[in-house]
Amino acid sequence: MKKFVSKTMVICCLLLFETLFSQNQPSFSAGQDPKPGGKKWEKIENLSDEFDNGFVTTKWAKNIPTWEGRKPARFETANVSVSGGELKLVAKTKDNPYDGWTHEGAAVRSVNKAPFGYYEVSMKANKTFMSSTFWLINEVPSNPTACERRTTELDVVECVGINTNGGNGFTNEMSSNSHSRPPWCPNPPGGKVINCPWPAGCNYQTGTQGNNAPLGGFNWAGFHTYGVWYKNKDEATFFLDGQNVGTINLPSDFNLDMYLRFVVETYDWIAPSPGADGMNSSLSDRTTRYDWVRSWKLVDCTGNDCGTPSTATVNCNSLPDDLTTSTAINVSIGYTADQQRDVVVELWNATTNSWLAEGKATVSAGTSTASVTMNIGTAPPAGSNYLLKASIRPVGANWQSNIDACTKTGVSLISGNTGGPPDVDCASLPNSLSTSTSINVPIVYTSNGQLDVVVELWNASTNSWLAQGSKTVGAGSGTAIVTINTGTAPSAGSNYLLKASIRPVGSSWQSNIDSCTKTGVSLINGSAGSPDVDCASLPSLLQSSTSIEVPISYTSNGQLDVVVELWNASTNSWLAGGTTTVSAGSDTEIVTINLGISPAAGSNYLLKASIRPVGSSWQSNIDACSKTGVTLTNTANKNIKAKSVVNSDEVLNDKVIIYPNPLHQNEEFNIILGNSEVNKNVKIYDLRGKIIYKTTTTEEKINIDSKTVFKTQGLYFIKVQDESGDLKTLKLVVN
């Protein structure tokens, strides 16, 4: 398993806890563990390896005595190694071809038997026409009977990095299979063992049963966890990244002793294609990498010995007192489960004692909190006349089978931003980003409940996935800042695209509710000067509010926090502060300072700005400064000039600034556009997506009468697009 070195002891401890926890149970996603009641998973140590201690010969062997490979690739032990916490199998061309052997692969087998159980591997495929695989197969015992010479093979995953036949088949999916073949016979019909007749008394069948599941990208773009629950002689269930992706009935009795195999080979239906098969690529591209393999068996247990409780309960004390009314209401509920169960939450009108809606979540054994979504055709009216009923029951059962149930009375539904159909707006994605190991990407979304907004970075030239980030959002419309951590900063260039999606929390791309793509995205090299904040760029005049937005210019040499604080200069007392995390480069950011109450109007204020490591306190400031003589006003000043907001004309050329924000309906609203030499299209949308204002202008500033444009209170979006297509989206709150 790969090693990571943390920067602080706290992070180190957290990672250690997470690593130890994950290594002592299978990597099922929430609600996906199929183990039955009264059972627990126990690791099979002699079939598991984190690959941290070299090649362990008591577990693995670098050859298969009965198989030297499939032409044109011969297995060579020199192509097997363990380094950097990984098992590595190399594909290459032969230096000295002979007798039809023109290529080299590699094979590793377990030396210990694999019983019925769960087998999983973290694998990154090579980027060639040769395979990357993980599977189980029987080995013929000593002195076998005629029937024991048959073959039972269970392929967890087989794939290639490049399909020389054209298309992406076998390169972007988890291809799983099972085979039942008769014993070898001399001169098999058609030259294939599968056509051999079964010996007398062997009442088995020849056959194949398979399953396919999409990866959402190429298999060589990153590690995936491939698993199989080899349940019994008749059934197997496949898992991709912890998710159940299909169950098959095995084609015959799979009751022979099985062994694990990791193999890089060639297939007779995918031929070499010099110059196009990846064999001239780097060693890294030609290497299949296995981060770990873990094997598990089910053992009997009772009560706490199972590592899980012996009862199933729900805790209504954990239910919220208030919920935001919506067509999709998310509720968290604490539970204890003795095995896989359904947790159900129902919404009732307490006044009429009428059921309104319900939702359920399937949970695994243990004690935790479930997130349950109740979908309702029409959002219920706000009020305090509601109650919640919670229950836990067998999976798929109805209320008559409840194991435990409870009720929470006095629940209120409150009005809020209920959003709309889940949606991501790729038009709001930026055309260019600064390349970094941590890239922040803004994306406009609409959500009808708690969902994940995901943004992926792709290399458009090679159609390869590079990295992605996600942010969990609540019901409503807004702009999410999604951080994509890349490990290594991608090269600057214009050959990139961004993919955005919105999906249930913790789910994979297969569950996308909406998705879109932005092409023609450029990564540029940002300035990496010494960290600095420029208090000369701070405004002298701000509108008093419970949420004050302050622009500040900065320079950063990496991901850092920019902090702005509001102080009362007369009493030298701190009032509030706001933070935004920035990447390497020089720019101007808007920092929002949230206060419990609006400060009194006056000229007795000052602003302090600083830049510091992410998540740290003022003691770690790298640079800091102050701006005195700051005035807070209760009304918008209609004579405010652009320099009152920012002091750099250069900043105005690439920043759109709106003020005041929040806006009162009787105030003048201002949009600073900068650069008067190009046309800018300005549109203002309400939450339903209706355009309520639009104009095309070369003016640097627009003044808008809020009374005629903003008819109701709520959230609005301002989109500004220039002639180059660069689009900026800002959020405005109208009180």
pLDDT 10s digits, 307-330: 656 678 999 988 888 788 888 888
Q: Is 556 left (phi over 0), alpha (psi -120 to 50) or beta?
A: beta
Tokens 């706290």 correspond to 10
Given 158, 265, 456, 667, the catalytic residue: 158
Written as six digits, the tokens of 365 are 């054994």
Same domain, 292 and 223: yes
Same domain, 48 and 116: yes
- Asked if residue 598 belongs to a domain, the reply is yes
Half-sphere exposure of 16 (CA within 13 A, CB side): 8
Can you give the pLDDT at residue 22?
42
Whether the predicted pLDDT of 373 surpasses 80? yes
Pick 541 or 106 by higher pLDDT: 106
Instruction: Determine phi and psi for 372, rounding to 5 degrees.
Output: -115, 130
Boundary-marking domain end, from 280, 298, 316: 298
- Asked if residue 699 belongs to a domain, the reply is yes
N- to C-terminal Cα distance for the chain?
53
Whether the predicted pLDDT of 16 surpasses 50? no
Can you give the pLDDT at residue 687?
57
Model confidence pLDDT, tens digit, residues 687-732: 555 678 878 788 888 888 887 788 777 777 788 877 665 667 777 8
Can you give the pLDDT at residue 621?
82
Same domain, 108 and 228: yes
Pick 511 or 143 by higher pLDDT: 143
- Asked if residue 652 belongs to a domain, the reply is no
Count helices and strands in the chain by DSSP H and E runs: 4, 49
Whether the predicted pLDDT of 432 surpasses 90? no
Segment 375-403 shows an average pLDDT of 91
Same domain, 156 and 253: yes
Can you give the pLDDT at residue 183?
93
Whether the predicted pLDDT of 126 surpasses 50? yes
Is residue 76 part of the annotated active site? The answer reads no
DSSP-assigned beta bridge partners for residue 127: none
Can you give the pLDDT at residue 501?
93
- What percent of the chain stands above pLDDT 70? 89
Whether the predicted pLDDT of 390 surpasses 80? yes
Boundary-marking domain end, from 496, 525, 554: 525
- Please report, as a single letter, which amino acid is at residue 268: D
CATH code for the domain of 275: 2.60.120.200
- Asked if residue 227 belongs to a domain, the reply is yes
Whether the predicted pLDDT of 289 surpasses 60? yes
Same domain, 361 and 493: no
Burial 514-540 (b: 16+ CB within 10 A, else e): bbbebeebebeebebeebbbbbebbbb
Pick 362 or 377 by higher pLDDT: 362
- What SS3 class is residue 19? helix
- Asked if residue 190 belongs to a domain, the reply is no
Whether the predicted pLDDT of 649 surpasses 80? no
Instruction: Tell me how far CA of residue 339 lies from CA of 36, 303, 308, 353, 393, in angstroms.
Output: 7, 11, 8, 32, 10
Same domain, 497 and 621: no
Same domain, 116 and 252: yes
Segment 61-86 shows an average pLDDT of 96
Burial 12-40 (b: 16+ CB within 10 A, else e): eeeeeeeeeeeeebbbbbbbbbbbebebb
Boundary-marking domain end, from 485, 506, 525: 525
Mean pLDDT for the chain?
85
Same domain, 634 and 538: yes
- Asked if residue 37 belongs to a domain, the reply is no
Can you give the pLDDT at residue 5?
43
- Asked if residue 464 belongs to a domain, the reply is yes
User: Which pLDDT band holds residue 417 (cuts at 50, 70, 90)?
Assistant: low
Given 76, 86, 153, 667, the catalytic residue: 153
Is residue 158 part of the annotated active site? The answer reads yes
Same domain, 518 and 547: no
Closest to 646 measured CA to CA, from 526, 542, 530, 562? 542
Same domain, 595 and 673: no
Same domain, 521 and 532: no
Query: In sequence order, what E strands does 486-616 have?
Result: 493-504, 514-524, 532-534, 541-543, 547-556, 560-568, 573-582, 585-594, 602-613
- Asked if residue 5 belongs to a domain, the reply is no
The count of structural domains within the chain is 5
- Domain, as residue range, for 518: 421-525
Instruction: Tell me how far CA of residue 320 lies from CA of 110, 331, 353, 371, 377, in angstroms.
Output: 51, 7, 19, 12, 22
CATH code for the domain of 386: 2.60.40.2550
| pTM, full prediction | 0.50
The span from the CA of 650 to the CA of 432, in Å, is 18
Same domain, 263 and 401: no
